[in-house]
Amino acid sequence: MYRRLSSIFFPIMTVLLIGAVYWGYQEHQEKNSILIKAENQYQRAFHDLTYHVEQLHQQLGNTLAVNSTSQAYHRKGLVNVWRLTSEAQNEINQLPLTLLPFNDAGEFLSRIANFAYKTSVRDLSKQPLTPDEFKTMKTLYANSEQISKDLAAMQEKVLSNRLRWMDVEIALASAKSDNPNIIIDGFKTVDKKVSQYPEINWGPSVSSMYQKRTVKMLGGKMVTEDEIKKHAAKFLDAANAEIRVVENAKGTEYATYSATVIDGKKNKLQMDFTKQGGQLISFMNPRDIGEKTVDLEKAKASADKFLDKHGFNEMKAVSYDMHGNTGSLTYVGLQSGVLIYPDKLTVKVALDKGETVGLQANDYIFEHHKRELPNPIVTQADARKALNPEMKVQSEQLALINNDLGEEVLCYEFTGKINGSLYRVYINSESGLEESIEEMSPSDSKAASDK
């Protein structure tokens, strides 16, 4: 009997064992294939990074080598610097450096890219490179040479020692980065050197991009937690609601308050306020939202009423996005009939009942103020001549926008249709040149309509 059973089960067990071995072998092969693919990607990204930083150094040198009046070559050189720096940033993002202190080097490359871009997009025949900008480029040339040499030295060690990037990833993931590792130590050295570079004059347009908003930029006095409770209760018409307030980033220039309001329905409404001035940064009602029954027109009416009620006057909707069962309307300020795009906020509406359930006003509270608007030099009729003749204009008005240099410029905003799509085109009211263009959705056009 046992012999009979063994004659039956032995072949079955043998087949199962062979199957298990084969499955294990296949899993091992697939795992190895994934590891090899990841290793090849890391190696390619690192060697490309080394190459592009070297090319960046050479391109800065070439741009500096030509005559100071060679605006055409300066533009070409700066465009190439921007392209190479962008390539280098992309390659850094492909490396397992998230746990490494490589922030200073990454930000340095980011500033070079922005400096090159913002300098190259302006009309160099009217605004040639200044002595300060040439000085900045010479500093970048010297600094990029040092970074290039350090990366080349690392590359030589990686190749000669056949180092693997997967070992770096494993070391970082297992918190063993304190152990000697040529690649990890090399990147730490580069980042440390970059952090010790003297302060560079990047110019106002680039520096403004990295300027952090702090409470010192706001008006008004510092408010207390009790005052925030009163602000929250007044905003929600909930004098008897339970309100809890906590201070964020206490003792720093970025201090804010977060208020949690428990309403009668036991919903926990979230609100953020600035510590200086007690201005509302954001509001959110995270309730469950049912099926959509409200259209764009009703959602916009709800958002308009919400803004009027809470003192956000002279605002106009310019775009609309729908995500699931909620609609988000973006509003900008109005001053003397001019759209003020820097004064921007977003209102979120639940499309089941048309109730406003969110507000994001961070840009608005920092940028909202009365401006001295310039008078247009170019007439609206002349500005219209700069448009594509095939564009069917639907509306036109003045708008203040931020240009590529981060400067506020007064433009004529033309909305219209061409090639089957809707566009907003901004023509500079001083120069008559195209400043910006953006595609619109039909919903954006509906939201921006005054009807």
Q: Is the dihedral of CA 120, 125, 126, 131 positive or negative?
A: positive
Whether 100 and 149 map to the same domain: the answer is: yes
Helix locations, 161-284, DSSP H: 165-173, 182-195, 204-207, 225-236
Residues 81, 56: contact at Cβ < 8 Å? yes
**What digits encode the pLDDT tens for the residues 162-179?**
777 777 666 665 654 455
Helix (H/G/I), strand (E/B), else coil: 247: strand
CATH of the domain at 427: 3.10.450
Residues 32, 134: one domain? yes
Residues 191 and 244 in one domain: no
pLDDT of residue 177: 47
Q: Same domain for 166 and 34?
A: yes
Instruction: Please answer whether residues 52 and 126 qualify as being in contact, where contact means their C-beta atoms are separated by less than 8 angstroms.
Output: no
Same domain, 33 and 156: yes
Q: Tell me, yes or no, whether 188 lies in a domain.
A: yes
242-248 and 256-262 strand pairing? antiparallel
* Structural domain ending residue among the three candidates 321, 344, 367: 367
Domain that holds residue 435: 380-445
Confidence of residue 159 (pLDDT cuts 50, 70, 90): confident
Mean pLDDT of 389-403: 91
pTM of structure: 0.67
Share of the chain above pLDDT 90, in %: 20
Asked if residue 399 lies in contact with residue 417, where contact means CB atoms within 8 angstroms, the answer is no
Both structure tokens of 14: 């043998």
400 falls within a domain: yes
- Do 338 and 361 fall into the same domain? yes
Q: Is the dihedral of CA 416, 418, 422, 427 positive or negative?
A: negative
80 and 130 share one domain: yes
Q: How many domains does the chain have?
A: 3
Q: Which of 17-31, 311-325, 353-367, 384-398 has the lowest mean pLDDT?
A: 17-31
Of 340, 367, 394, the last residue of a domain is 367
On whether both 102 and 202 belong to a single domain, the answer is yes
**333 domain residue, yes or no:** yes
Q: Which of 124-128, 147-151, 262-266 has the highest mean pLDDT?
A: 147-151
Residue 450 covered by a domain:
no
Q: Are residues 234 and 331 in the same domain?
A: yes
CB atoms within 10 A of CB 341: 21
On whether residue 239 sits in a domain, the answer given is yes
Selection from 385, 254, 255, 401 nearest residue 318 by Cα: 401
Question: Whole-number mean pLDDT of the chain?
Answer: 81
* DSSP strands (E only) in 275-420: 280-284, 315-323, 326-335, 338-350, 355-360, 392-402, 408-418
| 123 occurs within a structural domain | yes
Whole-number pLDDT of residue 341 = 93
Q: Does residue 137 fall inside a structural domain?
A: yes
> 387 and 359, same structural domain?
no
Query: Do 334 and 361 have their domain in common?
Result: yes
Identify whether the C-beta of residue 120 lies closer than 8 Å to the C-beta of residue 133: no
- pLDDT tens string 221-249: 888 889 988 898 888 887 777 888 888 87
How does pLDDT run across 323-339, given as a tens digit for each residue? 888 999 999 999 999 99
Are 204 and 226 contained in the same domain? no
| Residue 102 within any structural domain of the chain | yes
Residue ending a domain, among 301, 334, 367, is: 367
Residue 323 pairs with which residues in a beta bridge? 326
Q: Counting Cβ atoms within 10 Å, is residue 260 exposed (0-12), middle (13-18) or buried (19+)?
A: middle
